[in-house]
Chains A and B, each alone.
Chain A
């Protein structure tokens, strides 16, 4: 079992519009991408973020960038009362715990 963070070249989060939060995991080459991509599941993401699986909207594999994109429902619309991260740029840290 290995950590995705050691294989990935980019692990980031950002708003995709004010109502969704999207995560990109990018790998340095096609080989690493192939090794890791199937181990990233909606169930694992839901467990890491303590959310219901239904809140994980999609996991998309994008070969041209050796990337896996995960999109979840934002806990609240960007800037709503109780907001912690208007741009959604610092929500990626739990992904550093992903393994494959």
Chain B
């Protein structure tokens, strides 16, 4: 066992990478190219609606270079959490783009497709058997939420991806996958240390974000050895430092010493970071503690209605001094006017006061001008349009105490003033499912394209 080399081109498929960095990565003769395409960060809409938060053109641009390089070199290309959320529409969207690229290149490839959607009936059964528990500060799962979800995915571990590699797949398109798995599957299959492979994957999944200066649109290279791994930035502008790599361990997680995932937890208490010449960092000492039972993370989103928004500014100091009371009074007027429409939500984001932090905002004094984003969410787009429009027109002419500016209370940047933004979703499943077989929920399909 000498060394296994992994090229991570970009933090999220579609975020791009400089071709010079990618070329430098290929010159280091990687055994696998792997890329994470997903995140829950952009919020529940994308999982709920089955849409990607990245655009097709930049995703195709990245994939073009990745597919071409992997096929030319005869090394696997592994894509995790395809399409951003990893549900069937996201995986199929990614597959369509890959098919198009293969046709354009005039080549064929052996594709592995691993869907991660979870059957509702199966979840209902497992819920009744007591095999589903909340993950973090979330309530218990209910049958109603399972049935109301538009998409439910489970986050796969290494096993389904290793199976696809064993089947000889050249390109693997995985649904929702634990971020490090796409980088760690080949090393683990070849007998490298599980903890080091996963920890290296945990850093590579964000590509050059772990370098200094950090970037989500540049490559990072990993060298996995028997008892350590080494990270190298591929752009001459960046280096990996002890601090940049260690600091990255904190990113987007609550505890840097314990990183839980499918089948167990990475333990970083004994991890050591050391700088090597040439801007590289060596990491060793990480441990993996398997859990007694194997748990998969479930993610789901459900539709809660349709949204309409209106944007306006307020500059009048008398109005600004009473803004909370005025908004409350206008909300009451709306409720009074539409007594039969109870099933809507009306919310005003008040920028210049607490628009960014809401209830967490400690600052009391508002700014000299406010930006209002008026928002109505209702069961139909028509009702959302109606409520938003009525609130906006009522607020425009509302006669608050001490008002001197009697021609209108709002400054609109746009005509039309209101915008229907479509379906609204919320996360409704963030739970752990106990499984007997890590591969059971993730059937492997091999396709020649």
Question: A residues bordering B, Cβ < 8 Å?
Answer: 10, 14-20, 22, 24, 26, 48-51, 57-58, 60, 62, 64-67, 69, 71, 73-75, 77-87, 90-91, 93-94, 97
Closest 7 CB pairs of A and B: A79-B43, A64-B246, A65-B246, A71-B254, A65-B247, A79-B44, A16-B254
CB pair A82 B347 closer than 8 Å: yes
Sample of 11 further A-B pairs with CB below 8 A, known A81-B377, A84-B356: A16-B254, A17-B135, A19-B137, A19-B138, A62-B250, A78-B44, A79-B45, A80-B44, A80-B427, A83-B43, A84-B349
B358 contacts A75, C-beta separation under 8 Å:
yes
CB-based contact B254/A62 at 8 Å: no
Q: Known A16-B253, A84-B349, A94-B360; judge A64-B242 contact (CB<8 A).
A: yes
- A84→B355 contact, CB < 8 A: yes
State whether the Cβ of B426 lies closer than 8 Å to any Cβ in chain A.
yes
Partner of A18, one of B40, B256, B271, B377: B40
The answer to whether B254 touches A66, judged by C-beta atoms less than 8 angstroms apart, is no
Interface residues of B in 18-59 (CB under 8 A from A): 40-45
Interface flags, B179-198, vs A, CB<8A=1, else 0: 00000000000000000000
Would B250 and A91 count as touching, CB distance under 8 A? no
Interchain CB contact under 8 A, A81 and B362: no
Contact A79 B359 (CB under 8 A): no
**B256:A60 contact, CB within 8 angstroms:** yes
**What would 17 A/B residue contacts be, using CB atoms closer than 8 Å?**
A20-B137, A20-B254, A24-B250, A49-B362, A50-B360, A58-B255, A65-B249, A67-B256, A71-B255, A75-B358, A80-B426, A81-B304, A81-B426, A84-B357, A85-B356, A87-B41, A90-B356
> What residues of chain A lie closer than 8 Å to B427, measured between beta carbons?
18, 77-80
Asked if B136 is at the interface (CB within 8 A of a chain A CB), the reply is: yes
Q: Which of B247, B252, B257, B359 contacts A22 (CB 8 A)?
A: B252
Interface membership of B243, Cβ < 8 A: yes
Question: Interface residue tally of chain B, by bracket?
Answer: 35 or more
Which B residues are in CB contact (< 8 Å) with A66?
243
Q: How far is the CA of A61 from the CA of B90 in the complex (A)?
A: 38
Closest to B351 in A: A84
**When A57-B254, A58-B255 are in contact, do A78 and B362 touch as well, CB less than 8 Å?**
no
User: Nearest Cβ in chain A — how far from B141, in angstroms?
Assistant: 14
- Contact B256–A69 (Cβ < 8 Å): yes
Q: Residue of A at shortest CB range from B356?
A: A90
A contact residues around B250 at 8 Å (CB):
22, 24, 26, 62, 65, 67, 69
**Residues of B with C-beta under 8 A to A73:** 137
Chain A residues near B247 (CB, 8 Å)?
10, 24, 26, 65, 67
For the complex, give the distance between the alpha carbons of A77 and B377 in Å. 17
Chain B residues 331 to 349 lying within 8 A of chain A, measured CB to CB, are 345, 347, 349
CB-CB contacts of B227-269 with A at 8 A, as 1s and 0s?
0000000000000001100110111111111000000000000
Residues in A neighbouring B253, C-beta threshold 8 A? 16, 22
What 0/1 pattern do residues 265 to 301 of B give for CB contact below 8 A with A? 0000001010000000000000000000000000000
B223 at the interface (CB under 8 A from A): no
- Asked if B391 is at the interface of the complex by the 8 Å CB criterion, the answer is no
A residues near B273, Cβ cutoff 8 Å: 64
**Complex Cα gap A66–B43 (Å):** 30
Residues on the B chain within 8 Å of A90, using CB: 356-357
Assuming the A-B contacts A18-B430, A50-B360, are A78 and B257 also in contact, with contact meaning beta carbons closer than 8 angstroms in the complex? no
Say whether B41 contacts A15, CB under 8 Å.
yes
- CB neighbours (8 Å) of B43 from chain A are 18, 78-79, 83, 86
Chain B residues within an 8 Å CB radius of A91: 356-357, 360
Taking CB as reference atom, which chain B residue is nearest A62? B256
**Cβ-based interface call for B425 (8 A):** yes
Nearest CB on A from B180, distance (A): 16
Query: Does A82 contact B356, Cβ atoms closer than 8 Å?
Result: no
Chain B residue, CB-CB nearest to A14? B252
Closest residue of A by beta carbon distance from B268: A64
A94 cross-chain contacts in B, Cβ below 8 A: 357, 360, 362
- Contacts A20-B254, A65-B243 known; A84 to B136 CB distance under 8 Å? no
- Which partner residue on chain B sits nearest A78 by CB separation? B43
Rounded to whole Å, the gap between the CB of B343 and the closest CB of chain A is 13
